[in-house]
Amino acid sequence: MAWQSAGAFEISLADIDAARARIAGRVRRTPMEVSDDLSAIAGAPVHLKLEHHQITGSFKLRGAANAIEKLGEEARRRGIVGASTGNHGRALAHAGARAGVRTVICMSRLVPSNKVEAIYAEGGEVWIVGDSQNEAQNEAERLAADDGMIMLPPFDHPDIIAGQGTLGLEIIEEVPDLETLLIQLSGGGLAAGVALAVKSRKPNVRVVGVSMRRGAAMHASLAAGRPVEVKELPTLADSLGGGIGLRNRFTFAMVRALLDDVMLLDEPQIAEGIHHAYWKERQIVEGAGGVGIAVVLGGMVVNPGVTCLVLTGSNIDMGLHHRIAGGEAADLIGNRAGGGVSYDDDTHTP
Ligand SMILES: *Cc1c(COP(=O)(O)O)cnc(C)c1O
């Protein structure tokens, strides 16, 4: 396979090993548990990597910490700028504060106060600009161009991919007899890093990417054979929204070479994942965090063998979570699907 040839990608297992050493003490080694319910459904052990217990509530801290810890003195003095109001923004703010590097996250006036407060709480500066996240993104780019601040993208960057790959090292050490890995797929930083780590150690593991059907940019790009844009639609898996970038440099090629399959989920299935995580596994996950569970519940992988899936994040509006856990999901989806109404209260920046 292409990925096995040396130098096939910009990053290698050695980069992921180096990332692990670099971020040790900055990130948590998260628990791995077996789910009895899901194992019964799959007919084989299903292991859950509880990465939603990571500091900041998602795995994004691994990539952010690796990229920031790797910056030289000069870059550290200039500081970091970003426009993500979601898990990547939180992770940058946290890792920046820990490293003593100024971090500015640009946001539109319309970003809800809980998102603003989350960035503050992690130690980041918030810069309110304009009426859309596009304007905020432009301001972040201006700060990078004019003031020389460092922009760290959410997925398409070798240090981010290597950082996310550290999760893969933990997985293959904790489940050495792994046969099938279900991994969330949006921009592909997570899937690329984790698949590279896992397949470098154990080449015949089947790695299946999981996205939501509504606006699956990587899936559409793989089908087209090049990065393409898709219309962004509201989804319960909001952390999986957004494009892969028409000038994608790293993740598209890696995902294409490393993933064996991609599966797409409908909104009711995503709600089911959140619901099951809460009632059966006693875990609070966001929509993106529960999609691996939904794949198992739906029996979507035939004869998976020893399986691992990752609960990637817990950052969900708790009012929304309460409604889904209470079984309101059907109404919620019935009312909203195709209506162009956002489930959550904000833009879908990763
Ligand atoms: C960012 C994110 C993903 C997807 O990661 P990519 O590297 O963009 O593919 C999945 N789950 C959660 C909770 C996330 O925050």
Token duo for residue 311: 């609960």
Distance 289 CA to ligand 1 centre (A): 8
> b vs e for 164-194, b when ≥16 Cβ sit within 10 Å of the residue's Cβ?
bbbbbbbbbebbeebbbbbbbbbbbbbbbbb
Q: Model-level pTM?
A: 0.92
User: Mean of the pLDDT values across residues 199-216?
Assistant: 97
100-123: per-residue pLDDT in tens? Answer: 999 999 999 988 888 899 999 999
Helices 13-23 and 189-201 sit at what angle, rounded to 10 degrees?
110
What's the confidence (pLDDT) of residue 5?
43
Contact criterion met (CB below 8 Å) for 310 and 35: no
Q: Which atom of ligand 1 is nearest to the CA of 315?
A: 13
Distance 239 CA to ligand 1 centre (A): 6
Q: How confident is the model at residue 331 (pLDDT cuts 50, 70, 90)?
A: low
Contact criterion met (CB below 8 Å) for 149 and 79: yes
Given a cut of 60, whether residue 61 has pLDDT beyond it is yes
User: Mean of the pLDDT values across residues 310-334?
Assistant: 86
| The one-letter amino acid at 5 | S
Token duo for residue 342: 């956002």
User: Mean of the pLDDT values across residues 292-314?
Assistant: 98
What's the confidence (pLDDT) of residue 291?
98
Best of 50, 53, 60 to mutate for ligand 1, by most ligand atoms within 8 A of CB? 60
Token duo for residue 327: 């079984």
Distance 186 CA to ligand 1 centre (A): 6
Given a cut of 70, whether residue 195 has pLDDT beyond it is yes
What percentage of the chain carries pLDDT values higher than 70?
Answer: 91
Please classify residue 304 by burial: count the beta carbons closer than 10 Å to its beta carbon, then call 0-12 exposed, 13-18 middle and 19+ buried.
buried
Best of 30, 52, 58 to mutate for ligand 1, by most ligand atoms within 8 A of CB? 58
Distance 189 CA to ligand 1 centre (A): 8
What's the confidence (pLDDT) of residue 69?
97
Given a cut of 70, whether residue 343 has pLDDT beyond it is no
Closest CA to 193 of 222, 217, 168: 168
Ligand 1 proximal residues by C-beta, below 6 Å:
58, 60, 87, 155, 184-191, 239-240, 286, 288-289, 312-313, 350
What's the confidence (pLDDT) of residue 333?
59
What's the confidence (pLDDT) of residue 245?
93
What's the confidence (pLDDT) of residue 42?
98
Average model confidence (pLDDT) across the chain: 92
Q: Which atom of ligand 1 is nearest to the CA of 288?
A: 11
Best of 54, 87, 238 to mutate for ligand 1, by most ligand atoms within 8 A of CB? 87
210-236: per-residue pLDDT in tens? Answer: 999 999 999 999 999 999 999 989 999
Q: Please give the full DSSP string across 198-245, using - where no structure is assigned.
A: HHHH-TT-EEEEEEESTT-HHHHHHHHTS---------S-GGG-S---
